[in-house]
Structure 1
Amino acid sequence: MAKIVVLTGAGISAESGIRTFRASDGLWEDHRIEDVATPEGWLRNPILVHRFYNMRRKAAAEATPNPAHLALAALEGDPRHEVLIVTQNVDDLHERAGSQRVIHMHGTLTGALCHACGFRWPAPPEMHHTDACPACGAHTTRPDIVWFGEMPYRMEEIWSALRAADLFVSIGTSGNVYPAAGFVQDASRAGAETLELNLDPSTGSDWFDEARHGPASELVPQWVREICS
């Protein structure tokens, strides 16, 4: 059974209508990154941050999985392959497409986190700065999202999977954000074959054994058909 680790980024969800992380002007949906994607920004203005993520949560809930998400779920269902999806995305489109082995290294919009005690629970459609933690009662509820300056989730598990992989595939990611940008080198050093499927060459495209460029909704189903034939 071939062990495949798939890294997905904003590019795979963009074709479902979810806007990519940031534009060239450094803004994220018309907000400064520092204001809506850092612990300091949340402490400074929790009302703004909750309003921002409430909008993102609504947009993600209204989006539907595209052919790339569906193809990865089909690949997971092939008994000849053991597939782990590591996603930088905070939407749940992989799960709604049918994938079951998914690691959200940057957290998820469907989760809530208490800044005071670390308790986690399912997020309601709308969160507010006045929400109390179900565990400790503190009014320090925040989205369960990994912000800039924070450590991504389940890294030891991810690195272990990369070391054991036969194939590492990167889909729809720019290759600019570490530690994910270094996964191709980690997997390659461990002996895995590496493949990039991206709209354009990523920053680390030269590190891959093979790179194919175009829309994820076209490239991913085509690749899945190839390895499942």
Structure 2
Amino acid sequence: MKNIVVLTGAGVSAESGISTFRDANGLWEGHDIMEVASPIGWNNNPELVLDFYNKRRSQLSTVVPNEAHKALVTLEKKYHVTIITQNVDDLHERAGSSNIIHLHGELLKVRSQFDQDLVLDWKDDLNIGDLCEHNQQLRPHIVWFGEDVPMMDNAITITEKADIVIIIGTSMQVYPAAGLLSYASSNTDIYFIDPKPAIEPKSNLTVLSEKATTGVPKIVENLLQ
């Protein structure tokens, strides 16, 4: 069974109604990125950070997987599929995909300030005073700017074994995720789905200038034939 690695970014979730990570002026939902997505922001104003992610968590409960998420699940009929996502939502899981690596953390989990390996499922608001078993404050289980990406080595190992790579809803400009493609074999078939692709097709690279909800089902149908 061939291995497919799917790299997904904000463009996939955006079609379900989730705000993309940041807009053209560098703001995320009106906040400077470093205020809500950095250790410095957390140390300076943890209440603001918690409120920000509480609102993101609440919004997540109002959206559902779209046709792109659903189409990827059907690939598992014929291939071993691993989804490596930069998204922190659970839409791939809810759609039914089996193997998902979250590079940037998960919105529905929290972790201890004291022990980053102490991770808990969390669907409600997280507040100051919510403590782990070590009596330390819990924080969002999100990889912030300036922090290590714990799942990166695992993602690299899987990408190295890929027969096919599908890139959806990401410009592949944000590192370290953008560097993943360099670990794929030179003869790996690559599909790039984006409404405004910044790359040109070549021998092993197929570019589909479409949004995820229309482009992904087309690629999936082709691969299942």
**Superposition TM-score, scaled by structure 1 size:** 0.93
Q: In the aligned structure 2, how far is the partner of 1:41 from the partner of 1:164? A: 38
Q: Answer yes or no: is 1:103 the counterpart of 2:132.
A: no
1:6-45 aligned within 5 A: 6-45=6-45
The CA deviation at 1:167 is 0.7
* 1:114 equivalent in structure 2: 112
* 1:167 equivalent in structure 2: 164
* 1:67 equivalent in structure 2: 67
- Alpha carbons 2:162, 2:185 under 8 Å: kept: no
- Residues 183, 206 of structure 1: alpha-carbon distance in 2 compared, 3 angstrom cutoff: farther
Q: In the aligned structure 1, how far is the partner of 2:43 from the partner of 2:200? A: 37
Per-residue CA distance 1:174-226 (angstroms, 9 max, x = gap): 2221111122222144x312111112114x66787121111100000111111
Identical-pair percentage? 43
Counterpart among 195, 210, 220 of residue 214 in structure 1? 210
- Alpha carbons 2:73, 2:95 under 8 Å: kept: yes
* 1:55 equivalent in structure 2: 55
Q: Answer yes or no: is 1:195 the counterpart of 2:194.
A: no
Counterpart among 117, 139, 142 of residue 142 in structure 1? 139
* 1:128 equivalent in structure 2: 127
Q: In the aligned structure 2, how far is the partner of 1:159 from the partner of 1:201? A: 24
Aligned length: 223
**Superposition TM-score, scaled by structure 2 size:** 0.94
Two-structure CA RMSD over aligned residues (Å): 1.5
Q: In the aligned structure 1, how far is the partner of 2:140 from the partner of 2:39? A: 11
Q: In the aligned structure 2, how far is the partner of 1:7 from the partner of 1:50? A: 28
Q: In the aligned structure 2, how far is the partner of 1:143 from the partner of 1:11? A: 22
SS at match of 2:72: helix
- Alpha carbons 1:107, 1:153 under 8 Å: kept: no
What is the identity, as a one-letter code, of the residue corresponding to 1:166?
A: D
